[in-house]
């Protein structure tokens, strides 16, 4: 069973935890209480972004395309959670130094503090190892404004992408 730290709006730990299932059912988290989540926009030198397809057995958004994201487990810090999620969902190891923090988005409805990261990495699709029950396919998509309206991508991920869109374009163009 996955356990999450309960945080305040500033990301400070309350000293309490909550089981993931209870939090997902909107039970146990009160107004002003949050859990930490992470998301990464992985880009390559061709100006493409990596998307993975959610497994058909997922209870929410089965078959939709998404970026790599997930929740921090109790005791984890943001960078640690992001590195773990990338490894779990697509089987790629990354060093913390490769991840570039962009911003934190407060999602009141989901009681979530979402830390957004960029990662520039050349990943061959054949290298990706899918997490059973989570991901089942991957593709590189040209970074173009049309992605923001692509309904095959989970809407809340497209919304978060809008928060960092111009930074993402600059990051993609940066050859470093």
- With CA atoms as reference, report the closest residue to 69 among 108, 29, 113: 113
Percent of the residues in the chain that have a pLDDT greater than 70, as a whole number: 97
pLDDT of residue 27: 66
pLDDT confidence band for 175 (50 / 70 / 90): low
State the DSSP string of 3-71: EEEEE-TT--EEEEEEEHHHHHTT-SPPTT-BEEEEEEEEE-TTSEEEEEEEPTT-SSSTT-EE-EEEE
Residue 158 domain-assigned? Answer: yes
Q: In this predicted model, what pLDDT tens digit does every residue of 138-162 receive, in sequence order?
A: 999 999 999 999 999 999 999 999 9
Whether 68 has a pLDDT exceeding 60, the answer reads yes
Residue 176 domain-assigned? Answer: no
Residue 119 domain-assigned? Answer: yes
Residue 109 domain-assigned? Answer: yes
Residue 127 domain-assigned? Answer: yes
Q: In this predicted model, what pLDDT tens digit does every residue of 90-135 receive, in sequence order?
A: 999 999 999 999 999 999 888 999 999 999 999 999 999 999 999 9
Residue 96 domain-assigned? Answer: yes
pLDDT of residue 63: 97
Mean pLDDT of all residues in the chain? 93
Give the chain's domain count. 1
pLDDT confidence band for 39 (50 / 70 / 90): very high
| Alpha-carbon span 44 to 81, nearest angstrom | 22
Q: Which domain holds residue 75?
A: 3-171
pLDDT confidence band for 55 (50 / 70 / 90): very high
CATH of the domain at 42: 3.90.79.10
| Alpha-carbon span 144 to 24, nearest angstrom | 32
Percent of the residues in the chain that have a pLDDT greater than 90, as a whole number: 86
């Amino acid at each position: 069973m996955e356990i999450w730290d309960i945080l305040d709006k500033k990301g400070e730990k309350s000293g309490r935890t909550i089981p993931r299932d209870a939090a997902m059912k909107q039970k146990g988290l009160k107004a002003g209480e949050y859990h930490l989540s992470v998301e990464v926009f992985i880009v390559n030198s061709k100006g493409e972004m990596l998307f993975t397809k959610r497994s058909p057995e997922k209870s929410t958004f089965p078959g939709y395309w998404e970026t790599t994201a997930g929740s921090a487990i109790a005791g984890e810090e943001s960078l640690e959670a992001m590195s773990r999620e990338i490894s779990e969902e697509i089987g790629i190891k990354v060093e913390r130094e490769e991840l570039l923090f962009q911003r934190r988005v407060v999602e009141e409805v989901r009681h979530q503090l979402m830390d957004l990261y960029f990662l520039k990495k050349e990943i061959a699709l054949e290298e990706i190892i899918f997490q059973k029950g989570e991901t089942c396919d991957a593709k590189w998509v040209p970074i173009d404004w049309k992605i923001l309206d692509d309904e095959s991508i989970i809407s809340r991920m497209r919304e978060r992408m809008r928060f960092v869109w111009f930074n993402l374009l600059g990051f993609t163009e940066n050859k470093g």
